[in-house]
Structure formats: structure tokens, C-alpha cells
Amino acid sequence: MYGEKAIEVLKDLKHNESVPIYNQVGVTSVMQEMDLLYLTILKINNSEELDQSDPAIATNVITHYSGFMRNKRCILAYLYERIQRIKRLRWECGVTLPTNIEPNLHQTEKGFFDKYDKLLGDYGAEVNFDLTSDSKPPKDAFIEIRIIKTEGEDDIVLEDRTIKLKKNHIYYMNRSDAEMLINRGLAVQINSR
Amino acid sequence: MGYLDIDEILSEQENINVMLNNDAYDLATLLTKKDAKKNTDMNVELLPNQDLDDSIHSVTSTSSDLVEDDEDDEDDNKKLNSTNIQAKTKLNMPYWLAKELGKKHFVVVEFPSWMKVLESCKADWASVNINSITQHFYNFGQDLSYYIFNKNKFSEEREELAERLSKNVFEAFVKRFPLILQHSISASTENNSQIVRMLSVLEERLYRTGQTAQDEYANWKVNGVGLSIVKQSILMKQEATTQYIVPASAQKPTQPVDEEGTQQQARKRRKNNDGSIRATAK
């Protein structure tokens, strides 16, 4: 039956919460099925022996056509859902993609991520405010962090001073500076008290 | 969201019985079950030398002798005669296909067999395992009843049945909602996997939403607003200001990973330069 391969592609996506690996094989086989369906319809339309007004022929054409549109719908839904999840990643994880998800993206999806990132960055620069930094309203202006690794550079430039960070030490500092360090993977937030 | 909604797409995949109103040209290999074994896959990949016409021809000519010849067919297509399906045959096909064919009145979409089961379910909706009927019960049931009512009537009796199906689906949802609500609230403390297995796709989504809402609420009660938290944040601000006042050159890093140590140091810093302890809010 037409459309079964497309449904398999969609089901894989549904069972996985975040972005699974791009199903190149699945998508190409669905496209091949669509080509075949198109050629079948073309053949019937161009054939001179068949009576085009006969409902039997019409049933045939409609069946193939519905299969074609069904495949199209499934593939579009697949691509759309992946795009939505990638957008969510940008808001949750920041500018760099998590390393376990990055190889799962198709080339064009990576391009999408970069362009979306640029869009947000440009907007943030114009408005002078980064929307994605605090997803929940911060309760406190200061935050406790522990440094888990140093990058080799000794002096980290913070808002009003440059300091030297040492591994495994706890620092109490500005929320924005701390977020910057956390995003770079150098520190972890301590949820105490 | 409807066109691209994955759950809706999956709900239209349900199989449904239809009855053909007229003949169907060349669809026996696709739609009739007994051909399944002989059916060469329509999705065959073309070999480099193979012409597309050849592959289609080879598929259609391996049809079975199941269907009778259609008398109206021309003599040219005698080879393909046996692949036609006669009128009034009953077929089983996915709902999306049945919908399209039904719009043009080529088929009569029949009600699913579980319609009769619904009457017995009325006694106690809460205990029904809807997954055994179909996972997409609500979507499918509502869509089918509207579709038959609007586009595929064919008789007054069917109109009535469609209305009844719609009412049953609605009633099922209303009666089962308290069950979902109750179980989603207790999700953190009880093991509800038995109940979750009985829920349809829509209900499971509701259940998960309820569960996350409940968890966030519990989290908020512990970590969120509260007098003790406000006091602590005042304390932390005081510590912060004292820390910042120390010039950059003289600043020493705090002790590593020592909760008590940091608290002790905080207490130390609260002492004024002349040794007296600064008053703090308690």
C-alpha cells in the first residue's frame, strides 16, 4: 500500500524526543515511490485507449494521486517537526549545538540553525537585549558556580574585571557572567540553600 | 497545525472497510488481500536497463485469477482485464484513501466493527481499554462521523449512525476525563503504567501535561516563593556586596567544594573590621 514507508519515517520521529539522525534512506525511498506514482498517473492520462470519463479509470487515478499527496504530506510533516525541534534547541542550548545531536542533522538543517542563530543575534543586538539568556525569571542577581575546567587562558574577562579562575573552586558572581561561563562549559551552577 | 500534525496523520492511517460503487481499473494487486503474496512491490527500484513501462507491466500482469473479467473492457487491454476490481466488492484500505475515494462517491465508507462495542462500553467508560479499539480513538471517531455525515451519507440510517458515533466519542471523553485528571495528579507517587496503557493518544498527551504541571507545582512549593527564601536572598546579597568590595588584586578564591566552609567564611565576613559582628536579618 502506498504511504507505508512514509509512515515508518514519521513513526521513528515520533518515538524519539529530540532530533534523531536524518533518515536519508527513508526519505529517498518515499520520493522514489512518489516518482513512480506520478509516472503511473501520467501514463494513464496520456493513453488513448482508456476512456477518461469512466469512473473505473477515475478510481484508479484518484488512488494513485491520493497516495502521492499522502507521501508529500508525510515528508513535509517530518521536515517541519525536525525544524521545530532544532529551533527549540537554539533556545535551550544556546549558540553551539550539543555534540550528541550535531551529527544527526542534515547539511541544510545545519544551515537553518546557523541562519536562525544569526537572526536571533541580530535582533538581540538591535534591541540590546538577549532574549535567550534567561528562560525563567531570575530570583537573584548573583549565582554560585563551580569551575569544572579551565580553558588554558588564565584571565577570564567578566563585566567589570578580569579574574583568574581555578578548577573546583566556588565563585559567587554576577548572573550574566556566570551564564557565559556555564554556556562555555567551564562551570556548573550550584543549586544550594 | 492539522496538515502537518503527526498525530493526525497517524490517525488517518487506520484501516477501514469500504464498498465499491463502481469498478476499479487495475487496482486488484494493490487493494485485494489475496494478491498480497504474489504482489511484486510497487515500490520496486528500477534496474539500470529497465524501462518504467516494463516494470509497471510486469507488476500488473502477475495478478491473480481472483477477480472476474470486466465486460466493458476493450480488447486491447485483455492482459490487464483480470486486475480490475468489480463493483460491489468490499475492500479494506487506509482511511486517508477511503476519504478521497468517498468524496467522489466511488465508495461507501463503512462504519468500523468496533461501533457495536461502544454500546456495551457505555456502562463504564472509565475502565475501557481504548487502546484495544484504536489508539487514535477520538481523532478517528470524530473525523469519521463528520465525514460520513457530510460527504458520504447515502442513506438516512447512516446519518443517524454517524450522529450516534459522534455522541459516543464525545461522551467517552467526558466520562474518562476525571480519571485522567485524578491519575495524572498522583503520577509522582503511584505507578500508573497500567492506566496509561489504556489511554488513547489524545488522553496520554493530557496525562503527561497534567503530570508535568503537578511536578512543577511541587517544585514551586519547595524552591519557589516563601519567606525563608526571601530572607536567604537578602543574606546572599549582603555576602555578595562584601565580596565585591574587596579589590580585585587582593581577592582570594573561596575554598573548594565545601558547603560548610563557605558558610563559615560568610559568617567571618560579616564581622566588621574592628571585630564586631554586623547585624543580619534572621
Report ipTM for this prediction. 0.73
Distance of residue B260 Cα from the nearest chain A Cα, in angstroms: 12
Q: Is A60 on the interface with B (CB under 8 A)?
A: yes
Concatenate the DSSP letters of all residues of B188-235 into one string.
TTS--HHHHTT--HHHHHHHHHHHHHHHHHHHHHHHSS-HHHHHHHHH
Mean pLDDT, residues B91-96: 90
Q: Do A73 and B9 touch (CB under 8 A)?
A: yes
Judge contact between A84 and A112, C-beta under 8 A. Answer: no
Of A76, A161, A172, which has the smallest distance from its Cβ to B248's Cβ? A161
DSSP state of B136: T
Percent of chain B whose predicted confidence (pLDDT) is above 90: 3
Q: Is A59 on the interface with B (CB under 8 A)?
A: yes
Q: How far apart are CA B201 and CA B203, in angstroms?
A: 5
Contacts of B30 in chain A (CB under 8 A): 1-2, 63
Is the per-residue pLDDT at A32 higher than 60?
A: yes
Q: For residues A158, A159, A163 and A168, what is the CA-based torsion angle, rounded to 10 degrees?
A: -50
C-alpha cell at B84: 480490475
Q: Where are the alpha helices (H) located in B46-121, listed in sequence order?
A: 52-61, 95-103, 115-121
The number of helices, as runs of H, and strands, as runs of E, in chain A is: 5, 5
**Over the stretch B153-191, which tens digit does the pLDDT of each residue have?**
788 888 888 888 888 888 888 888 888 888 888 877 777
**Over the stretch B37-84, which tens digit does the pLDDT of each residue have?**
333 334 343 344 434 444 444 343 333 333 333 333 444 444 445 678
DSSP state of B51: -
**Residue B74 φ then ψ, to 5°:** -75, 160
- The closest of A68, A79, A8 to B13, measured between CA atoms, is A8
Is the per-residue pLDDT at A147 higher than 80?
A: no
For residue A97, the tally of other CB atoms under 10 A from its CB is: 20
Mean pLDDT, residues A119-124: 88
- The closest of A161, A18, A39, A139 to B44, measured between CA atoms, is A39
β-bridge mates for residue A163, sequence order: A156
Q: Please name the residue of chain B whose CA is at the shortest distance from the CA of residue A42.
A: B53
Question: Which of A 124-183 lie inside 8 A of B, CB atoms?
Answer: 139-142, 146, 161-163, 166, 168-172
3-state class percentages of chain A: helix first, strand second, coil last, to nearest 5: 55, 10, 35
Is the per-residue pLDDT at B142 higher than 50?
A: yes
Using DSSP, state whether B150 is helix, strand or coil: helix
Q: What is the pLDDT of residue B78?
A: 40
Contacts of A36 in chain B (CB under 8 A): 42-43, 52
Query: In a mutagenesis test of the A interface, which of B19, B25, B67, B104 is the best target, namely the one with the most A β-carbons within 10 Å?
Result: B25
Q: Do A66 and B232 touch (CB under 8 A)?
A: no
- Low-confidence winner among A41-45, A155-159, B30-34, B271-275 (lowest mean pLDDT): B271-275
Distance of residue A110 Cα from the nearest chain B Cα, in angstroms: 22
Is the per-residue pLDDT at A182 higher than 80?
A: no
Judge contact between A68 and B42, C-beta under 8 A. Answer: no
- Which run of H or of E encompasses A5? helix A4-15
Is the per-residue pLDDT at A67 higher than 90?
A: yes
β-bridge mates for residue B92, sequence order: B17
Contacts of B20 in chain A (CB under 8 A): 59
**Over the stretch B101-129, which tens digit does the pLDDT of each residue have?**
888 888 888 888 888 888 777 778 777 78
C-alpha cell at B138: 477520538
Of the segments A11-20, A33-42, B138-147, B217-226, which one has the largest average pLDDT value? A33-42
Position with higher pLDDT, B229 vs A168: A168
Judge contact between A42 and B10, C-beta under 8 A. Answer: no
C-alpha cell at A10: 514519521
Contacts of B232 in chain A (CB under 8 A): 193
Question: Which of B 46-105 lie inside 8 A of A, CB atoms?
Answer: 52-53, 56, 70, 72, 74, 76-77, 84, 93-94, 96-97, 100-101, 104
- The closest of B175, B209, B211 to B190, measured between CA atoms, is B211
Contacts of B239 in chain A (CB under 8 A): 172
- Which run of H or of E encompasses A163? strand A162-164
The number of helices, as runs of H, and strands, as runs of E, in chain B is: 12, 3
Question: Which of A 63-122 lie inside 8 A of B, CB atoms?
Answer: 63, 65-67, 70, 73-74, 76-77, 80-81
Q: What is the pLDDT of residue B64?
A: 33
Q: Do A170 and B240 touch (CB under 8 A)?
A: no
**Number of residues that this document lists for chain B:** 282
**Over the stretch B230-263, which tens digit does the pLDDT of each residue have?**
555 666 666 555 544 444 455 455 544 455 555 5
A18-to-A96, A104, B143, B230, B232 alpha-carbon distances in Å: 16, 10, 30, 37, 37
Contacts of A57 in chain B (CB under 8 A): 25
Q: Please name the residue of chain B whose CA is at the shortest distance from the CA of residue A166.
A: B253
Q: What is the pLDDT of residue A83?
A: 93
Residue reference for cell 459522534: B166
Distance of residue B199 Cα from the nearest chain A Cα, in angstroms: 17
Q: Do B4 and A80 touch (CB under 8 A)?
A: yes
Q: How far apart are CA B162 and CA B273, in angstroms?
A: 85
Q: What is the mean pLDDT of chain A?
A: 82
- Residue ranges with strand state E in chain B: 15-20, 90-94, 107-109
**CB burial class (10 A; 0-12, 13-18, 19+) of residue B227?**
exposed
Q: Do B24 and A40 touch (CB under 8 A)?
A: no
- Is this structure's pTM higher than 0.80? no
Judge contact between A142 and B240, C-beta under 8 A. Answer: yes
Q: Is B24 on the interface with A (CB under 8 A)?
A: yes
Is the per-residue pLDDT at B35 higher than 50?
A: no
